[in-house]
Each structure stands twice: as structure tokens, then as C-alpha cells.
Structure 1
Amino acid sequence: MPSKIKKLLILFIIFTIFSSITTQFLAYTFNYQESLTGEIYPHIYQPYACIEWHINYYKEFEPIFLNVYSQVLFGFSLFAVVYMSIFLLFKRKEQKHLNVHGTAHWATKKEIEATHTLNRKDGLYIGGWKEKRKALHYLRHNGDEHVIAFAPTRSGKGVGLVIPTLLSWSESTIVLDIKGENYAITAGWRKHYANNKIFKFNPNDPTGESSKFNPLAEIRLNTTYEIADTENIVIMLLDEKGEGLKDFWEKGGKTFLSSLILHTLYIAKNEYHPTPSLSDIYKVLNSKSLDEILADMSSYYHNQETQT
């Protein structure tokens, strides 16, 4: 039942009770005269009979009516004060222990509607709500806020949330798909129906179907950023734990590897070869001795023209 109808019904019941008490009190005051209309049983009258009596007899018996009205109103006021005092007292005692075991609970329909996730046709799937004896309603979020699904392994996060989202989200997306399940299930739909370009990046893929990424191609040669760009890549290779390069050998290794990468990139640029990758750096390290590599690096004219 809607809240507005409930409020109107409560007001109607209160008015009926108030009117019934007033009617019976007036009848008692007038000693149940036969001229009083609306009698149902002996000394029992219709709840709203007092309205008709007021219209017919108020001017003639105004003091009696005012006295009855004031007494009934005083009684109702006293009852309301006592009732509210008892109600607030018990409510206060109950609230002391409401959160002793936490406040988590299943959301009600009103709480779900307040989140604006019910019956949406777009956005991320974040759950579902099943109304009693009715169909399941999906909950979807399409706001600016971040969304995180936290649940144990094999509890249905992928099947219930991720895959439905990937099969309905038409915009671009980056998916960390360690097992490859999301790609296998959703890539076809996203390519043919969402008109997405699909790139599967898996450096350990032995089939050669993985998309390629060469981090060395992102180094901005002939700029003031080339050394910093190169060192960022080298640090990620040498400092696996992210604890920083501590001793001389680690720092020296960073300097040497950064120099070798820049040397190899300049050779490719000057001689119009394809941009080298990390595998090319690996081949250089294993094809020559350290002295030969250092000699090549020191004797080669790199033709470095720094641009800002």
C-alpha cells in the first residue's frame, strides 16, 4: 500500500475515534434524549452523529457543546502525550542495542530504488533483486562512482557480474583476464555486435595470436625525456619487488642497461631499422662480450639532436 494512502487511512481512523467519543459524550450529557438522531442500539450512536447535532443544536446549547469539546480534546491531548512519552522511552531503550551485531542487512525495495539501479537498461551489472513471487530484477550502475565486487573465489563474480556486463557494455573496456575466460565468452559478441576492436594481450601465448606491445617504442628519442623514459623501463625490469636499487651493482646495472637500450634505439633510427624490442636487447647481451658491447657503444656516432 502506498505511503500516502496509509497516512490518509490513519488520519481517517483517528478522526472516526475522536468523533465517536464526542458523540457518545454528548449523548451522555444530554441524557440520551429521544430527539438525538443516529441511534444504532440503545445508548449507542453512529460515530459521526455529533456533526448533525452540532448543526441542529449548537446555537441553543453552546455552553454544553463547548464543555464537551474541551473535555474530549483535553482527554485526547493527555492520551497523546502519555503515548508518545512511553513510545519514545521504549524506542530509546531499543536503539541502545540495535547495532550490537552490526548494521548490515539485505536492502529493502525502498533502499534499492534510492540507489537508482533498479530496472536500468544500461550500465554495469552489480547484482539482482527478486521480488516476492515475481521475476528477478537486475541491478545496474551507470554513474561516475567506482564499483568493486568483493566475494570469495568461485562465488559467481565473473558469471554473475563481469560476463553480463561485457555482453551488454558497448563502450571501450580494458579487462584483466588472467584465465582467458572472459575473452573466450565475450570477444565474439563485442566484435560483431558492439563494433569493438578486440586486442588480446598475452605475452606468454605460445600460439602467436596475442597482440604485441613494445615498451621501447614509447621512449621519446631526441627529447629531454629519453633518459627518464628508458630508466623507468629498466627499473621495472631490475627492481621486481619495488624496493629500490640498493647497492652499487644494481645501480650500475641500471646505468649500463639504459645506455645499451638507447644505443640500440639510435642504431635502428639512424640506419632505418624497425624499432628494437626487449628480445633484441637480449640478443645483443648474449651475442657479444661485455668489452665488445662497450667498445661498440663508445665508438658509434649516435647523432643525437635533442628536441624539447
Structure 2
Amino acid sequence: MSATRVLWGQIAVVLLIVLIAVWSATQWVAWRLGFQPQLGSSWFELAGQPFYPPPALFWWWYFYDAYAPNVFFEGGAIAASGGLIAIAVAIFMSIWRAREAKDVKTFGSARWAERDEIEKAGLLGDDGVVLGRYEQEYLRHDGAEHTLCFAPTRSGKGVGLVVPTLLTWPGSVIVHDIKGENWELTSGFRARHGRVLLFDPTNSASSAYNPLLEVRKGEWEVRDVQNVADVLVDPEGSLEKRNHWEKTSHSLLVGAILHVQSMRRRTRRWRASLPSSPIPAARSSPRCPP
């Protein structure tokens, strides 16, 4: 419950306690005085019992205190007890409201998880992406959700999360390894349990991929070749409008690729004579580091 709701609840409860106490004192005095006609007409009757307005006690006290001081003293004590109870309740609810205010989430609610929360999230399993460690157990996520680690440079994201995951992940994995550090540290171990490939177009020892092998023959051939040329001319797909050189280079690539595709089906020897022949089919990766 929010602190604002507790405040309004506090006001309502205090007013209700005061009202009940004063009304009880009024009815007590009326009963002790035998419901005298001089007390005035009742507000309403319930089960033959007259009920007077709650503040009637105070004007009775003003006019008739000299005739029955003890009775009005008792009524005043009942009303005062209600005030004391209301003060106690107000203090209690103020403390409650202060505690609720401490839990406000205006500036975030992040905190360290407790063990039962970790178990409920399923992070103590034997498989999955390594997230960290809780006491002597590793935290792993093996669900369908995405995992994001955000931390400054050189803060241990690779050696703390990526490398342990690559060394324990039993299935296939694609790693966007810009620096090549993960390949150096984990490819040797993973090569003992399966096939590993390094794809780095800037490395002469890289595995190769020939996109022209994906071109479908027949009615889709031109469209597929145009897609390949689009990737070569505009790798990021950020050009809204191409200039003269981009248009002509695209047309040149489409024509050259279609020509190569046509001649490849006739003779492989002619293709080898071109200055920029397509890359051969995918080959195995070079020897992995130990």
C-alpha cells in the first residue's frame, strides 16, 4: 500500500474513532439521565431506543452540568478515551506510513536477490548462460528469454561470463568475437568436442563462404543476384537514395555476377581467368589454438 493511501486511511480511522467515542458518550449520558424530555427530541429510534446527535453531549453538559456533574464527568471520560485511542492509532499509522515511504520506487527498486528468489527464477541449474556466482554455486540462465550484460570496458564481461559460457555450453553457438579473444581462449577446447569455424574476411586463414552458392537458378536468379549486389553496395542498408556511382556499381555487379553464374555452368576454366573470382565453397577452419 502506498504512503498516500495510508495517510488518507489514517485520517479516516482517527475521525471514525472520535465520532464513535463522542456518540457513545452522548448515548451513555442520555441513558444515565433516563432519556429525560428536557434532553430534546432524538435523532432517530432503533429497536425502541432513542439515538441523539453525537454533539448533543456538549450542549447538555453546558446547560445541565450542575444537576448531574458525575454523569457528565463519566460522559467526558468516555469521549476523552476515544481521543486517546485516536492519538495512539494515529501514531501507529504514522510509523506504518513512514515505513511505506522508505519502500518508494520513484528512483528505482533494484536490490540483491535472496536465495529463494534465485531458486524461483531457476538460476541455479547446471546448464545455461553463466551470469555470476551466488556463494559457491554458479548462476545460469537456461530459459527462452534474452540475456544482457551491461558493464564498462575491461570490467570482466568476457572472462567472467562469455568465456565460462563457451567452455560449458553443450550446443552450437555463434560468437560475434570482434577482438578474437574468445576464439583464442575457447576454440581449442571446443574443437575437442565438435567442429569450430573462424569466419574473418580480413584473415587469410579464415573459413570461407560463397554467397553465390545461395543464388537460385531460374526465375529467381536475377532477384537473388540483385540482393547480393545490394549487400555489397550498401552493407548497412542506410542509403535512402543512391548516387550515380552507387547505381552504376550496382548494375555492374549484377551484370558481372550473372555473367559469372552463366559461364560457371559452361566451364570452370574461364571463371578462373577473371581477376575477382567468387570465393570457393566453405572450407574447414584453420587449426584452432590449443
| CA shift digits 1:27-84 (9 cap, x unpaired) | xxxxxxxxxxxxxxxxxxxxxxxxxxxxxxxxxxxxxxxxxxxxxxxxxxxxxx9988
Shift of 1:261: 0.6
Q: Does 1:267 align with 2:263?
A: yes
**Which sections of structure 2, spanning at least 5 residues, go unmatched?**
1-85, 280-290
Mapping 1:135-154, distance limit 5 Å: 136-154=136-154
2:229 and 2:254 in contact (8 A); partners too: yes
Shift of 1:151: 1.1
**Among candidates 90, 99, 114, match of residue 120 of structure 2:** 114
Matched positions, count:
192
**Among candidates 228, 233, 242, match of residue 238 of structure 1:** 233
My pick for the range that moved more, 167-176 or 226-235, is 226-235
Q: Aligned partner of 2:185: which letter?
A: I
Shift of 1:177: 1.1
Shift of 1:92: 3.1
> Partner of 1:255: helix, strand, or coil?
helix
Mapping 1:277-288, distance limit 5 Å: 279-280=276-277
Moved over 4 A (4+): 81-89, 272-278
Structure 2 equivalent of residue 252 of structure 1? 248
Structure 1 equivalent of residue 163 of structure 2? 163
CA pair 123-275 structure 1, distance change in 2 beyond 3 A: farther
Shift of 1:273: 5.4
My pick for the range that moved more, 89-98 or 210-219, is 89-98
> Partner of 2:187: helix, strand, or coil?
helix
Mapping 1:1-308, distance limit 5 Å: 87-96=92-101, 98-118=104-124, 120-130=125-135, 136-192=136-192, 195-206=193-204, 208=205, 210-222=206-218, 224-241=219-236, 242-272=238-268, 279-280=276-277
Q: Aligned partner of 1:142: which letter?
A: D
**Which sections of structure 1, spanning at least 5 residues, go unmatched?**
1-80, 131-135, 283-308
Q: Aligned partner of 1:261: which letter?
A: I
| CA shift digits 1:123-169 (9 cap, x unpaired) | 11011123xxxxx3210011111111111111111101111111111
Point out which structure has higher relative CO (alpha carbons under 8 A, 6+ apart). 2
> Partner of 2:108: helix, strand, or coil?
coil
Provide TM-score, normalisation by structure 2.
0.58
Q: Aligned partner of 2:276: which letter?
A: S
Structure 2 equivalent of residue 40 of structure 1? none
| CA shift digits 1:253-285 (9 cap, x unpaired) | 322321211111110112255988993279xxx
> Partner of 1:140: helix, strand, or coil?
strand
Shift of 1:249: 4.2
